[in-house]
Amino acid sequence: MIRKHVLPAVLALSVLAGCGGGEAAADDPNAKVTLTFTAYGGAGQQAMIDSYQKPYTAAHPNVTFVNTSPPDVSQVKAQVMSRSVKWDLVSVAPGVATQQCDKLFEPVDATGIDTSTLVEGTIGKCYIGNFINANPIAYRTEAFPDPAKAPKSVDDFFDLKKFPGRRGILSNIQNGILEFPLLADGVAPKDMYPLDVDRSLKKLDTIRDKTTFAPNVGALQQAVGAKQVDMFILPDSRLVPLMNDGTDITVVWDVTVAAMNGFAIPKGSPHKAAALAFAKTLCGPEQVAGISEALGTQPVNKAAKPALSANAKKVEAFGPVNTGEVLMQDINWYAENFDAASTKLTNWLVG
């Protein structure tokens, strides 16, 4: 567990004009290439187009991008197994990329990367991190208009009697669906790992009938905007666009689960060298600052100096607004247990 303003020790790593300090070697660095970039769509992917792709294309006119969404590991597996890989870069949880390293994802050649100002864990064996997503509990302010009677803790999220209303949770493991129930069930953040998946799902059962389990961030963001859920767990990168669109949201600063987000190259990508050269720029200070300014995410590059908007500051989990604490997901635990945990969660969701 870490304090709101302190970057976790499990995390430490900068880059000069991109964390690679230049383009990686390629068979022909001047050859024209189109990279297929797969992320979660919406405002988040548009921020990546603006902060990652446009500057890169300006500096490398031979490189263009096709954008698609959403990322899906099962799709990566299907492409790799059929030897018809269409995606060149995929947004992925570091634990997944690590567990499937050299199976579904290409190893990352980190030669030449300056790690001196990067958060620890930014560079993995098969991924490069681009930001840290915080996933705070929040609610539509009009659903609980009296601050004295509004939710204030993780426990309150699971208290249907005291705080009635529809909940919204992402079914993506990376967004805290397994950690929050355990926090509400009395597990201290410092004792979270190894994670007790069965106990977590048992606690989730207590709110199942009043919860919308969204398959992706766009779906839950839309549900919040449409007033279909009252209290929800949604990444900072989706809270900011909602606030920018006029949705009145209050963040609950108790314990917030945060996770590294990364990009990986599917095994067998026909543009592996060009994809890696581009990927090495994702954690550059200017790129990282641009993403944080647009989405309120935590930079992976400590040299980044984002000028946050008023709304981005409202969701800054590692900033002064957070009066609670942050629990960083354990990449190493997920690297060993992601498939097993995902299978249990999937079976529970469809059961």
Residue 192 corresponds to which tokens in the numbers above? 């979270």
C-alpha radius of gyration, the chain, whole number: 20
Contacts of 351 (CB under 8 A, 6+ apart): none
Residue 19 tokens read as 């964390």
The answer on pLDDT for 20 being more than 50 is: no
pLDDT, one tens digit per residue, over 141-172 is 999 999 999 999 999 999 999 999 999 999 99
**Whether the predicted pLDDT of 64 surpasses 90:** yes
- Structure letter (DSSP) for residue 320: T
Which tens digit of pLDDT belongs to each residue from 244-284?
A: 999 999 999 999 999 999 999 999 999 999 999 999 999 99
pLDDT at 135 over 90: yes
Contact 35, 66 (CB under 8 A): yes
- pLDDT for res 277: 95
pLDDT at 2 over 50: no
Tens of pLDDT, residue by residue over 309-324, are 999 999 999 999 999 9
pTM of the model: 0.88
